[in-house]
Amino acid sequence: MTASSQTPPEALPPELSPAQRLPERVPMSGAAQAAFASYGAVFPVPAGTAQQAPIAETVRAAAGVLEAAMTNGAHTPQDLAQAEADAGILFDPQKAEDIATAAAEQAHAQDQAELAERGRQVAVMAGARRRVDAVGRLIEGRPGYHLLPVAEIAAAAEYAATPYDGLPMTLTWTGRASVPDAHTTHRQVALECVSSYGGSAHLLIEGDARATLGGLLDEEARDIHAPCQTDGCGTVDDYGTSDPALMGWARLEVAGLDDEPRWYCSPQCIADALARAGDELAADDQAAAVDPGEQAQPAAAAVDQAAEDVPRCVRCGCTAAAACEGGCGWIPNLQLVDLCSACATPEELAAAGWRVVGGGQ
């Protein structure tokens, strides 16, 4: 039994003859080939893959447009392409670019509107924070039993301003401080203070500000002549620079002083040495200012340190107990230094009211 004997002839569609079958590849005209090449470049197909079948609805819509155009007498490729363009199914690069541009502009406008809204919200929050901070400034440093006028609180809450914004808060240190441990990574010092209203306050100092404040206060409080407790600090010994024990040390030589280079163990000791050298240089300059043509006599610098409180002439080193040969007296001068009459010039004697008679005074 075969299928042909069981199935009536009218149940299956008749087979097409070889002449009626569609060719495997339909030849295209020159215009069609040009159009295919143009639009084929717009939608490239990756190498080694087969192009997917177009969407059925799009194909049916295009077929309907072409069928209607052919029914109306369109026969050339130009007529068919025009029909597709009129129906809006023909790809238009300019139209696609216009659509993309419009979409980008719309997205940009939406972003700008969103940013403007965020800016407005931030401004509102910043204004609220300023008002809260103003109220905090108004009550800061005051004890809990203080009473404030309603007008001041309302002005701070409404306008973020207080009557005391231009006035600094006065804090008085109680003498107590919270100093961090040497091994603490967060180096913060809290100075306990009292406000002018009697409230408690803490002055927080951290980081480099600690060293800066310490240096400013130490300039007035420290004794630059106090000896350092570190063994070898200030010595003139010629230490080897490769010695690990000298890590962090420095060798200082001050120009203008007849002194050898000295080793110091810390920046503080170096600062003290520079301060002492500055005082010595200032004293030399003051002594030389009595007579710019003369310098202080070296003998005056070799005086016994135990008798430094005894007035001595800045030029010859004489004292009231050991006067110059022939006698001398102290000469008042504008520089306010100890100057004897034997070393003073005639101009200095005349300015002091001394009278010179025959080489004597």
Query: pLDDT per residue over 15-37, tens digit each?
Result: 545 444 444 444 555 555 555 45
Q: What pLDDT shows up at residue 28?
A: 53
Q: What pLDDT shows up at residue 303?
A: 46
pLDDT in tens, 206-243: 878 877 777 677 655 667 777 787 888 888 877 777 77
pTM of this structure: 0.31
3-state helix, strand, coil in the chain (%, to 5): 45, 10, 45
Which residue numbers in the chain have pLDDT < 50? 1-5, 7, 11-12, 16, 18-26, 36, 38-45, 47-48, 50, 295-296, 298-306, 356-361
Domain ranges of the chain: 91-167, 168-221, 227-288, 307-361
Q: What pLDDT shows up at residue 22?
A: 42
Q: What is the DSSP letter of 61?
A: H
Q: Please say whether the beta carbons of 314 and 335 come within 8 A.
A: no
Cα–Cα distance for residue pair 13/16, rounded to 1 Å: 9
Q: What pLDDT shows up at residue 333?
A: 77
Q: What pLDDT shows up at residue 119?
A: 93
Contacts of 264 (CB under 8 A, 6+ apart): 228, 233, 234, 249, 250, 251, 252, 270, 273
Q: What pLDDT shows up at residue 222?
A: 66
Q: What pLDDT shows up at residue 103?
A: 92
